[in-house]
Amino acid sequence: MWPWISITLLSVVAGTALTFVSGRYARWTALATAIVFLGEVGLLFYAFSGWSTSGGILGGFAETETHAWIHVSWLSINYSVGIDGISLVLVLLTAILQIATVVYSWAESNRPAAYFGLVGLTCVGSFGVFVALDVLLFFLFWEAVLIPMFFLIGVWGGPRRRYAALKFFIYTHVASVVMLVALLATAFYGQAGSGTTSLDFTAIAQAANSHLTAVAQTFLFVAMLFGFGVKFPIVPFHTWLPDAHVEAPTGGSVLLAGLLLKLGGYGLIRWAVEILPQGFAHARPLVLLIALLSIAWGSIVSLAQRDMKRLVAFSSINHMGIVLLAIAVNSSLGLMAAVLLMFAHGIVSALLFMTAGSFHHTFGTRDLASVGGITPTTPALSTMIMAGSLASLGLPALISFPAEFAALLATWAAFGYWVFLPLGILVVTAAFYLWMMQRVLFGPPRDVPATAHDVPWYEGVGMGILVGLAVLFGILPGLLVNVIANSPVKGFPGP
């Protein structure tokens, strides 16, 4: 069988390397890379055995590939990649966001080769994180995401870019140090009796489950919760996010919100919840508390924002809080909801950050209160803002709805009437959004500059792709749900 995961990885790496050196034609190279990537992900989908009940169209499709990499007497490290439903959905998100970002940034004039190359590198890293099944490989890709993002913020960012890039780097890097030590400790303590320690996911999971005490598991889980949680971001380690988002260029914000936050969620599910079930069970109250805190804090603070990017940034904290809540429920419905919600948030927050970028280009400010009634002047932009906001607050037939609904349903099943706590917060936020929409988009034009013009075609297309997908998966969430629910290789714990 063809090693499709490695082929995909290789093609994206090669495309990204080409992008870096193709000078003026970088955007074309980047677009070609992204399209090939999406095609290959489509193939992975097509061949994935969870896709149809018949067990895959290409029978016997290799969902994991393993090659020996570093083997010494005490340590065994493999190049080991694999895909299950959870990864596949997030890999699809990566491919979609790469295309959308490249198209949206089509006219980038400041060192375009480096810009598109770094965008590609971020996507390579994310793809790698989603498929890696070995600690070294996982950490390698995890770090590989950090560096391009640091440069995207630090070079192409806004006026306080240096501060924001540094803060982003310090927060996430310290967290990844804790994460790595926790992962290594899980591996080495779990396999302490055996002579050789394998850093392979399956080996770690088996050894940890049979050898680690509940106390050790809890300790390690909390360390990983911190390590992955900073990327999430969880309150109170979220303060890098608004700064990074506000200062990052639009493409950087899109990848940051769309992909990087998902790395934290994916990592928590794959490496903490699946490997340390007992630790997770003991730490659940803490996870739950942090989830509710993040939901509440994200919403309340976003109500007070006038800067559109900060508003979206804080609503991201709120949405990722719901993801954490769905994980904390610890049922297969909850985990399915968490993954679906991450996909939904990836699409919607990317869309909202694009609209914020276009809003800034058009009106020269991101201050929402400074203009009003912009629809007659910029109908396309207004449509996108409207679509993004409605998707964000969970309008049925848009992608967030099935995800949030499933998350709340799982919460209801597990905690009963407590579900009204997050639900109440969501309703208040939704009302606020509608009121803001009404003021900014509709009503009589107020302070609209005469020079305002509607979005250029490439920005429109970039946003249009995401709106289309939000509608498509909003109407047919089953396309993704089937895949997530059928994760035969590294599957969910039972219901």
Partner 1 sequence: METLALAAPYVPELIVLGAALLVFLCDVLGLRRTEWVGGIAVSGSALALLAVLADLGTAGLGVFRTLPASSVDAAPTAALTAYTSLGLIFAAIFLIAALLVALASTSRPSEERGAPIFFGLLLLATLGMLLATIAADLIFLLLAIEVTSISTYVMVGYTRRGSRSLEAAMKFYIVGALSSTLAFFGASLVFGAFGTTNLYAIRAVLATGSIGYPVLALLGFGFIIAGLAFKTTLVPFHAWAVDVYDGAPSEVSAFLAGASKKLGLFAIFLVFVGPVLFVATGGGSLFPGGSLDLGPVLRLVFAIVAVGTMTFGNVLALLQKEMKRMLAYSSISQAGYLLLGIAIGTAPGLAGATLQAFAHVFMKTGAFLVVAAAAAVGIGPLIDDWRGVGSRRPLLAVAFAVLLLSLAGVPLTVGFVSKFVLFSAAVQAQGLYVWLAVAGLLNSALSVFYYGRVLKVIYFDPAAPAATPAGAVVGGSDAPPLPAGGIGYGRAAAIGITAIVVVALGIDPQPVLGAIQSAATHFLATGA
Q: Does 181 bind partner 1 (CB under 8 A)?
A: yes
Which residues in the 196-235 window bind partner 1 by CB under 8 A?
197
Q: Does 75 bind partner 1 (CB under 8 A)?
A: yes
Q: Does 180 bind partner 1 (CB under 8 A)?
A: yes
Q: Does 188 bind partner 1 (CB under 8 A)?
A: yes
Residue 17: burial class (beta carbons within 10 Å; 0-12, 13-18, 19+): middle
Q: Which residues pair with 77 in a beta bridge?
A: 70
Would the CA dihedral through 23, 24, 30, 36 be positive or negative?
negative
Q: Does 367 bind partner 1 (CB under 8 A)?
A: no
What x/- string results for residues 446 through 465 when contact with partner 1 is judged by CB under 8 A?
A: --------------------
Q: Are 77 and 134 in contact (CB under 8 A)?
A: yes
Please tell me the number of Cα atoms within 13 Å of 356 on its side-chain side: 29
Q: Does 177 bind partner 1 (CB under 8 A)?
A: yes
- Name which of 251 and 321 has its Cβ closer to partner 1: 251
- Name which of 53 and 73 has its Cβ closer to partner 1: 73
Nearest Cα to Cα of residue 117 among 36, 29, 245: 29
Q: Tell the smallest beta-carbon distance from residue 84 to partner 1 (Å).
A: 24
DSSP string, 169-236: HHHHHHHHHHHHHHHHHHHHHHTSSSSSEE-BHHHHHHHHHHHS-HHHHHHHHHHHHHHHHTTTTPTT
Q: How far is CA 121 from the centre of its chain?
A: 15
Q: How many CB atoms lie within 10 A of CB 245?
A: 26
- Name which of 146 and 301 has its Cβ closer to partner 1: 146
Residue that is written with structure tokens 């610890």 in the block = 330
Which residues in the 108-127 window bind partner 1 by CB under 8 A?
114
Q: Are 126 and 110 in contact (CB under 8 A)?
A: no
Segment interacting with partner 1, rule: CB under 8 A, options 180-188, 242-250, 323-331, 460-468: 180-188
Angle at 80 (CA atoms; ends 336, 48), nearest 5 degrees: 45
Q: Tell the smallest beta-carbon distance from residue 16 to partner 1 (Å).
A: 13
Q: Tell the smallest beta-carbon distance from residue 167 to partner 1 (Å).
A: 13
H/E element, 76 = strand 75-82
Of the residues 160, 173, 306, 453, which one makes contact with partner 1 according to CB under 8 A: 173
Give the pair of three-digit tokens for residue 178: 């804790």
Beta strands 197-198; 64-72: pairing state:
unpaired
Segment interacting with partner 1, rule: CB under 8 A, options 48-56, 175-183, 201-209, 299-307: 175-183
Angle at 338 (CA atoms; ends 3, 152), nearest 5 degrees: 70
- Name which of 118 and 441 has its Cβ closer to partner 1: 118
Q: Tell the smallest beta-carbon distance from residue 140 to partner 1 (Å).
A: 4
What x/- string results for residues 129 through 168 when contact with partner 1 is judged by CB under 8 A?
A: -------x--xxx-xx--x--x---xx-------------
Nearest Cα to Cα of residue 66 among 147, 148, 5, 150: 5
- Name which of 68 and 472 has its Cβ closer to partner 1: 68
Q: Does 409 bind partner 1 (CB under 8 A)?
A: no
Over the Cα atoms of the chain, what is R_g?
A: 22
- Name which of 216 and 256 has its Cβ closer to partner 1: 216
What x/- string results for residues 55 through 74 when contact with partner 1 is judged by CB under 8 A?
A: -------------xxxxxxx
Q: Tell the smallest beta-carbon distance from residue 229 to partner 1 (Å).
A: 18
Which residues in the 312-351 window bind partner 1 by CB under 8 A?
none
Q: Tell the smallest beta-carbon distance from residue 395 to partner 1 (Å).
A: 42
Q: How far is CA 218 from the centre of its chain?
A: 26
Q: Tell the smallest beta-carbon distance from residue 142 to partner 1 (Å).
A: 9
What x/- string results for residues 262 through 281 when contact with partner 1 is judged by CB under 8 A?
A: --------------------
| 3-state DSSP assignment of residue 265 | helix
Task: Give how many residues touch partner 1 by CB under 8 A.
Answer: 34
Using CB under 8 A as the criterion, which residues of the chain lie in contact with partner 1 when the complex forms? 68-75, 114, 136, 139-141, 143-144, 147, 150, 154-155, 169-170, 173-174, 177-178, 180-181, 184-185, 187-189, 192, 197
